[in-house]
Chain A
Amino acid sequence: MALIQEVDYGTPLGKSETMVTLTIDGQAVTVPAETSVMAAAMMMGTKIPKLCATDMLEAFGSCRLCLVEIEGRKGTPASCTTPVAAGMVVHTQTPRLADLRRGVMELYISDHPLDCLTCSANGDCELQDMAGDVGLRDVRYGYAGENHLEARTDASNPYFSFEDSKCIVCSRCVRACEEVQGTFALTIEGRGFDSRVSPGGTNFFGSECVSCGACVQACPTATLNEKSVISLGKPEHSVVTTCAYCGVGCSFKAEMKGSTVVRMVPYKDGKANEGHSCVKGRFAWGYATHKDRITTPMIRKKITDPWRVVSWEEAIDYAAKEFKRIQAQYGVDSIGGITSSRCTNEETFLVQKLVRAGFGNNNVDTCARVCHSPTGYGLKTTLGTSAGTQDFASVAHADVIVVIGANPTDGHPVFASRMKRRLREGARLIVIDPRRIDLVRSPHVTADYHLQLLPGTNVALINAIAHVVVTEGLVNEDYVRQRCELADFESWARFIADERHAPEAVEHLTGVRASDVRGATRLYARGGNAAIYYGLGVTEHSQGSTMVMGMANLAMATGNLGRIGVGVNPLRGQNNVQGSCDMGSFPHEFSGYRHVSDDATRNMFEALWNVPLKGEPGLRIPNMLDEAVDGRFKGLYIQGEDIAQSDPDTQHVTAGLRSMECVVIQDIFLNETAKYAHVFLPGSSFLEKDGTFTNAERRINRVRKVMSPLAGMADWEVTIALSNALGYEMSYAHPSEIMDEIARLTPTFAGVSYEKIEALGSVQWPCNDAAPHGTPTMHVDRFVRGKGKFMLTEFIPTEERTGPRFPLLLTTGRILSQYNVGAQTRRTENSRWHEEDVLEIHPFDAESRGVEDGDMVSLESRSGAIALRARISERMQPGVVYTTFHHAKTGANVVTTDYSDWATSCPEYKVTAVQVRRTNRMSDWQEKFLEEDRTLKRIETKLDAAE
C-alpha cells in the first residue's frame, strides 16, 4: 500500500458547460471555459511550478513561479490567474521561464532555513519540490541578508505548530481560513518584508481559530504542520475512510505508519466534505488508542462486584446463558437490544437481526429514538420517506437558507462552512433558535432574521409562518395542485388560515415579533430557492414530530421540494444516525422503514432468516426502562451506546438498569452505562473494522479498517458470536456479505454493494434499478409516497411549564470541540477548549440571582439537581438558560425530564423548567456519582483474584 497522492490542479476547475480547446506545450487539450491555464495543464498531466496556488482555493497570483508564455501575448502571465481561451498556445517550459523561476526561488530560499534534512516536512514540502523542479543550485544573494530565521514558533495549538521562520507568506493558510472554513482567523500582519502570517496578533490557541486544519493542509512548507507528523515522521501509506463523529460523514485519508495513525487528512474526493474537515475528525482521533480503552472481555454477577477479566468465549457464553435463563424465567419479551448510531450499518443490521431472530422479539431500538425519531415519523408521513431531501452540495444553490434548532458551526462544522460560503455569496439567512448562535452574526455572515423564540413554541411559530404563506397569497398553487393531495391541502389551508395562527395572535406565546415573522415568511416564500436545515431543536420536543410535519407543509406549500437548492434537511447528530434508522433498528420497522406488521415484508425476512418473526412492534428504549423498573424487563444488549449519560432523566435510566439481571455492554470504554452492566464486551473503533456509515444526505460511505481490532474482534464479529452462542446461527466472512443481505431485503438498498461503493466512491440511497447510481435529490418528479400530504399541526403547549419553583427554561446542546457524551473527545486535547460543562445565563437572570460569571450554581428541575459553573452570556434571552451534556460528572441529564414527543417518544431535552441559584457544593447526585465512579467501575486485580 502506498500513500494516496491526490492531484492538485492548482486552481478550481471551471464549472462552465462550454468547452474550450487550447494548446499547451504542443498538445491540444479541451477543458471547460473559465478553467485556469494552470489547471488545464494539470488536466493533461503537466505540472506548472507553483507555490501560492492549490485547487481548494481561488487563484491568487502572488508567488510568480507559475509564469508561462502565451503566443501573441506580452510578458509572462501567471498561469493560475489566466483563464483559458480558444486557440490559445501556451508554453510552460522555456529558457526565459526557467530563468525567471529560478530567480524567484533564489529570493525565497535566501530567507528560508536550510535544514531540509531535519525538517518535519522533509519529503512532503512543495518549496523543496519547487527548488528541485526549477533546478536551484545556488542563491546569488547569499543567506546573510535580513531574514526571518529567528522568528518564533507558536506551538500553542495542541495539534499543530506554526513555525514562522519557515513561512514564505504565500497566504494559502489565510485564504484557506477565509474561503474554505469561513472563520477569517488568520491575516497577514504588517507589510513589505515585515509581512507575516498572524492569527490576529495573539497565539493560535488564544485566537479566533477553530482548529479545523484547513490552514495546515494548505501550507506548502513545514510552517503549519501536524505535531503528530513532527513527532512520528512522514506516513508511508494511507487508507480512505469515513469520520466517526457527526452526521456530515467526512471522508478522510488515514495516513499511517504501519498500524499507527500519523494523521487524518480530509479527502478531496469525499463528496460530503470535498477536502474540508473540523477539529474533531481532523485531530481528535487519539481516543481510539487511549489508555482507557478496555480490550479484554469482563463479567460480574452483581454490579457491586469488581469486574473479572475473562476470555471472549467465557464472556459470550455467560451472556448467552443469562439471556436464555432470563427468557425462560420471565418470558421471551423480557430482553432486548439497543443498536448504536456510532456503529456501522452492517453492525446495526446484525444487532436488530439478533434481537428479532435470536431473541425472538422486536425489542430493538436505537439512540435515534432520542434524537431524530420525529424526523422519521414526520417526513415519512408527509413526503413518504424518513430522510433529508438533498445532498450537502445543494446548499450552494439555495437563495434563502432557514436554520431551525440547529447550530451548524458547532454541531456540523464542515457543512456550516459550505453554508457560510453560500451566505458570503449573497444567500439570505433566517435563523429560528432560542439562542443567538454564531450564524446569527459572525464575521461576514449576518442573519436577515433571527426569530428568537421561547423554547417549546416551535409549532406555534411554524404555524404562524404557514398562516402568512396562506393568507398573503404566497402559496405556490401550481406546485401544490400538481404534487400534493389537494383535499389534504385544502383542509390544511382552512386550518392554518384561522386567525388563531396569525403571527400577531401567537406573539405572546413565541415571544417573536409578528412583523419579523411576516418579513421572514415573505423572504422564505419569495426569495428564490429556499432550503430548511434543522437539528434537534426541532425534534427533541413534546411536539417534535408535529414540527417536522409543519416544516414539510411549509416547503410543499411554497414549492420548495424536489429540486437542487431547496428541501427539508435534518442535520444528523451522529455519524450513522441515518444508517441505524435505515437498518431497521426500530421496534416497529424492518430495514427500509417497513412496518413489522406488513406480512409481505415479514415473510421475506422470515424466508431468508429461516425463523418466524413477530408482527407486533416491540419496546422502545423508554418503555424498556419503564418495564425494567416494573420488574418485567430483565436483560439488555447495548452496542456502543451510553444511555446512562445521554438519555434524559438519568436517575430513571439508572433505576431501570439497576433492575435488570443481565446488562451486556459492548463499548470501547467502560462508559457510564457499564457501571450497571454484568458483561462487558470490548468494542472496536472505526479504525479497526470494515463497514459503511450513512450520513445525513443518505450517502453510504465506506469505513475501512486501518488497524486490527485492539480486543481481537470487530463489533460485527462479536454480535455474530453472541448470536451463535444463543443458538441462532449467523455466518458472514466479511461485512460486505452483510451489506449484500441488506440489499437483498431492502428495496431502497437493492443496488448497493461494496463493489459499487468502491467504483463510485459513495452512493446515496435510494439506490436500485430505478436509480442505479443513487439519488442525490429526493422527490424530484413525485414524492416517495406519491402525492405530498399536508398534515394538520395544532400547537399544543408542553406540559413542562415554568412556575414559581422553576421559573427558567433550560435548553441543552453541544459545542464545537466536544462530541455528545464526550467519551471520545474528552480523551483528546479537545478538552483544552472545553474543560467542563457550564450554564449559560442572561445577565438579567444572573443579576437578579446574585450570580457572577464563573460562580458555581445549582441547576434544579423536578427531576433532579446538579451544580456547575455559570457563564453570563448575551447569547441567551432572559428566562432561558443553556448547557451542554459532554461531561458525565456534570450530569446535565439528571435535570432533564421524562416528557417526550407524542408520536415517537423522543425526549423533550430542549425544554425543562428549572431554577438556578448560587451554591458552594456539588449536588447529591454528583456526590453519589463520584462515589459510584469508584465502587461500580472496579476491575479485579490479580491480587484480588488470588484471595
Chain B
Amino acid sequence: MADFSIVARKGSIAPEAELDQSSPIRILPGEKMSKSVRWDETRASEIIGAHASLDGAALPVLHALREEFGFIPDDAIPLVASALNLSRAEVHGVLTFYHDFRRAPPGRHILKLCRAEACQAMNAPILSRDLLAKLGIDWGETTPDGALTVEGAYCLGLCMCSPSGLYDGEPIGRLDAAKLEALIQEARRS
C-alpha cells in the first residue's frame, strides 16, 4: 500500500510520494479541474431528456447537469420537475440534500477540507477557520477573484494523514497553514 503522507499533485507543492492509482480513494467523486459552463436551458433540457426515462431519474439527471455545467442553478428546478413530473419542492428537496449539487458556479479551483472526526482531532477546525477568515469567505463560497472555492468534506478516507483535503480532486494529506497558503497561491496563479 502506498504511503498516504502525500501531496499527490504532480510537480506541485512538496510532493512526498506518488499516489497509488489503484488506491480506493480514487473512487471519490472528485473533479480533476473545476469546470463551470454558462447555464444553457436548451442544453439542460437535452440532458434532462436523455435521462428522464430512467427509473428514479432525479439523481442521474442532477448528476448529469452538475457534470455538464459544474453547478445546478434554481432555473434547473422547474425543468427537472416538469420533465420528471415531480413537484418543484421535491426537486428542491433532493437538490439541497446533497452538498455536491453545487448551486452556483464554483471558482477555477476547488479545495475540499475534511471536517470529520479524525481531522477535527488533528486541528482541522482551526486550520479551516483561519483559511476561511483569510479568504473572507464561508464554507461553500468562492473567493471574489473567482480563484478558489472552499467546501467541506466529511471523511475522505485519509484519516491516517489528517488533516486532509482534496484540491481539484487530488488528495492532500497532513495539511498545515503553509501548505494551505501554497495552495492559495497556486490557485490564484492559474
List the 9 closest A-B pairs by CB distance, nearest first: A187-B93, A200-B89, A184-B87, A443-B87, A187-B89, A200-B92, A201-B92, A189-B96, A200-B88
Contact check, B89 vs A198: say whether CB atoms are below 8 A apart. Answer: yes
Tell me, yes or no, whether A325 is within 8 Å of chain B by CB.
no
Task: Kindly list 19 other residue pairs between chains A and B, CB separation below 8 angstroms, not including A198-B89, A201-B92.
Answer: A184-B86, A185-B89, A186-B89, A187-B90, A187-B92, A189-B96, A190-B96, A191-B96, A191-B97, A200-B91, A200-B92, A201-B77, A201-B89, A201-B96, A207-B89, A208-B87, A443-B85, A443-B90, A446-B85
User: Which A149-203 residues sit within 8 Å CB-CB of chain B?
Assistant: 183-191, 198-201
A 489-509 binary contact with B (CB < 8 Å = 1; else 0): 000000000000000000000
What is the minimal beta-carbon distance from B71 to any residue of chain A, in angstroms? 15
Tell me, yes or no, whether A444 is within 8 Å of chain B by CB.
yes
**Which B residues fall within an 8 A CB radius of A?**
74, 77, 81, 85-93, 96-97
Tell me, yes or no, whether A290 is within 8 Å of chain B by CB.
no
Q: A199 and B89 in contact (CB under 8 A), knowing A189-B96, A190-B96, A190-B97?
A: yes
Instruction: For B96, list chain A residues within 8 Å (CB).
Output: 189-191, 198, 201
Cα distance A444–B91 when bound, in Å? Answer: 13
Interface of A is mostly: loop
Instruction: For B97, list chain A residues within 8 Å (CB).
Output: 188, 190-191
Q: Which residue of A lies closest to B103 (CB)?
A: A201
Tell me, yes or no, whether A441 is within 8 Å of chain B by CB.
yes
Cα distance A605–B77 when bound, in Å? Answer: 65
A 247-262 binary contact with B (CB < 8 Å = 1; else 0): 0000000000000000
Q: Which of B77, B86, B87, B89 has the most CB of A within 10 A?
A: B89
Cα distance A190–B99 when bound, in Å? Answer: 8
- Choose among A189, A190, A200 the residue that contacts B87 (Cβ–Cβ < 8 A): A200
Q: A443 and B92 in contact (CB under 8 A), knowing A190-B97, A201-B77?
A: no
Cα distance A441–B83 when bound, in Å? Answer: 11
Q: Which residue of B lies closest to A194 (CB)?
A: B96
Cα distance A199–B88 when bound, in Å? Answer: 9
Cα distance A760–B97 when bound, in Å? Answer: 48
Contact check, B93 vs A443: say whether CB atoms are below 8 A apart. Answer: no
Instruction: For B87, list chain A residues within 8 Å (CB).
Output: 183-185, 187, 200, 208, 443
Contact check, A189 vs B85: say whether CB atoms are below 8 A apart. Answer: no
Instruction: For A443, list chain B residues within 8 Å (CB).
Output: 81, 85-87, 90
What is the minimal beta-carbon distance from B72 to any residue of chain A, in angstroms? 12
Instruction: For A201, list chain B residues within 8 Å (CB).
Output: 74, 77, 88-89, 92, 96
Instruction: For A199, list chain B residues within 8 Å (CB).
Output: 89
Instruction: For A184, list chain B residues within 8 Å (CB).
Output: 86-87, 89-90
User: Which A810-846 residues sit within 8 Å CB-CB of chain B?
Assistant: none
Contact check, A188 vs B85: say whether CB atoms are below 8 A apart. Answer: no
* Count of A-B contacts judged by CB separation below 8 Å: 57
What is the minimal beta-carbon distance from A676 to any residue of chain B, in angstroms? 47
Contact check, B93 vs A198: say whether CB atoms are below 8 A apart. Answer: yes
What would be 27 A-B contacts, judged by CB atoms less than 8 Å apart? A184-B87, A184-B89, A184-B90, A186-B89, A187-B89, A187-B92, A187-B93, A188-B97, A189-B93, A190-B97, A191-B96, A191-B97, A198-B89, A198-B96, A199-B89, A200-B77, A200-B89, A200-B91, A200-B92, A201-B96, A207-B89, A208-B87, A443-B87, A443-B90, A444-B85, A445-B85, A446-B85
**Which A residues fall within an 8 A CB radius of B?**
183-191, 198-201, 207-208, 441-446
Instruction: For B90, list chain A residues within 8 Å (CB).
Output: 184, 187, 200, 443
Contact check, B88 vs A188: say whether CB atoms are below 8 A apart. Answer: no
What is the minimal beta-carbon distance from A167 to any residue of chain B, in angstroms? 15
Cα distance A49–B89 when bound, in Å? Answer: 30
Instruction: For A200, list chain B residues within 8 Å (CB).
Output: 77, 87-93
Cα distance A200–B89 when bound, in Å? Answer: 4
Cα distance A186–B89 when bound, in Å? Answer: 6
Instruction: For B81, list chain A residues within 8 Å (CB).
Output: 443
What is the minimal beta-carbon distance from A636 to any residue of chain B, in angstroms? 49
Instruction: For B88, list chain A residues within 8 Å (CB).
Output: 200-201, 207-208
- Choose among A188, A207, A442 the residue that contacts B93 (Cβ–Cβ < 8 A): A188
Instruction: For A444, list chain B residues within 8 Å (CB).
Output: 85-86
Cα distance A445–B89 when bound, in Å? Answer: 16
Cα distance A314–B87 when bound, in Å? Answer: 59
Instruction: For B86, list chain A residues within 8 Å (CB).
Output: 184, 443-444
Cα distance A186–B96 when bound, in Å? Answer: 13
- Choose among B85, B89, B91, B92 the residue that contacts A441 (Cβ–Cβ < 8 A): B85
Cα distance A446–B92 when bound, in Å? Answer: 21
Q: Which residue of A lies closest to B74 (CB)?
A: A201
Instruction: For B91, list chain A residues within 8 Å (CB).
Output: 200
Cα distance A148–B137 when bound, in Å? Answer: 22
Instruction: For A446, list chain B residues within 8 Å (CB).
Output: 85
Instruction: For A185, list chain B residues within 8 Å (CB).
Output: 87, 89
Cα distance A199–B96 when bound, in Å? Answer: 13
Cα distance A535–B88 when bound, in Å? Answer: 29
Cα distance A443–B91 when bound, in Å? Answer: 11
Cα distance A207–B81 when bound, in Å? Answer: 13
What is the minimal beta-carbon distance from B185 to any residue of chain A, in angstroms? 33
Cα distance A445–B86 when bound, in Å? Answer: 9
Instruction: For A441, list chain B residues within 8 Å (CB).
Output: 85
Cα distance A222–B93 when bound, in Å? Answer: 23
Cα distance A446–B97 when bound, in Å? Answer: 27
What is the minimal beta-carbon distance from B75 to any residue of chain A, in angstroms? 12
Q: Which residue of B lies closest to A183 (CB)?
A: B87
What is the minimal beta-carbon distance from A701 to any residue of chain B, in angstroms? 32
Instruction: For A442, list chain B residues within 8 Å (CB).
Output: 85
Q: Which residue of A lies closest to B88 (CB)?
A: A200
Q: Which residue of B lies closest to A445 (CB)?
A: B85
Cα distance A389–B85 when bound, in Å? Answer: 33
Instruction: For B77, list chain A residues within 8 Å (CB).
Output: 200-201
Cα distance A756–B88 when bound, in Å? Answer: 47
Cα distance A446–B86 when bound, in Å? Answer: 11
Cα distance A799–B85 when bound, in Å? Answer: 40
What is the minimal beta-carbon distance from B165 to any residue of chain A, in angstroms? 21
Instruction: For A191, list chain B residues within 8 Å (CB).
Output: 96-97
Cα distance A201–B87 when bound, in Å? Answer: 12
Q: Which of B74, B81, B87, B90 has the most CB of A within 10 A?
A: B87
Q: Which residue of B lies closest to A186 (CB)?
A: B89
Q: Which residue of B lies closest to A443 (CB)?
A: B87
Instruction: For B92, list chain A residues within 8 Å (CB).
Output: 187, 189, 198, 200-201
Contact check, B89 vs A208: say whether CB atoms are below 8 A apart. Answer: yes
Instruction: For B85, list chain A residues within 8 Å (CB).
Output: 441-446
Cα distance A208–B78 when bound, in Å? Answer: 11
Cα distance A688–B65 when bound, in Å? Answer: 58
What is the minimal beta-carbon distance from B127 to any residue of chain A, in angstroms? 21
Instruction: For B74, list chain A residues within 8 Å (CB).
Output: 201
Cα distance A188–B91 when bound, in Å? Answer: 11
Q: Which residue of A lies closest to B97 (CB)?
A: A191
What is the minimal beta-carbon distance from A447 to any residue of chain B, in angstroms? 11
Cα distance A442–B85 when bound, in Å? Answer: 6
What is the minimal beta-carbon distance from B12 to any residue of chain A, in angstroms? 34
Q: Which residue of B lies closest to A195 (CB)?
A: B97
Cα distance A444–B81 when bound, in Å? Answer: 11
Cα distance A658–B189 when bound, in Å? Answer: 86
What is the minimal beta-carbon distance from A377 to any residue of chain B, in angstroms? 39
What is the minimal beta-carbon distance from A205 to any residue of chain B, in angstroms? 14
Q: Which residue of B lies closest to A446 (CB)?
A: B85
What is the minimal beta-carbon distance from B3 to any residue of chain A, in angstroms? 34
Cα distance A443–B82 when bound, in Å? Answer: 8
Cα distance A190–B89 when bound, in Å? Answer: 12
Q: Which residue of B lies closest to A185 (CB)?
A: B89
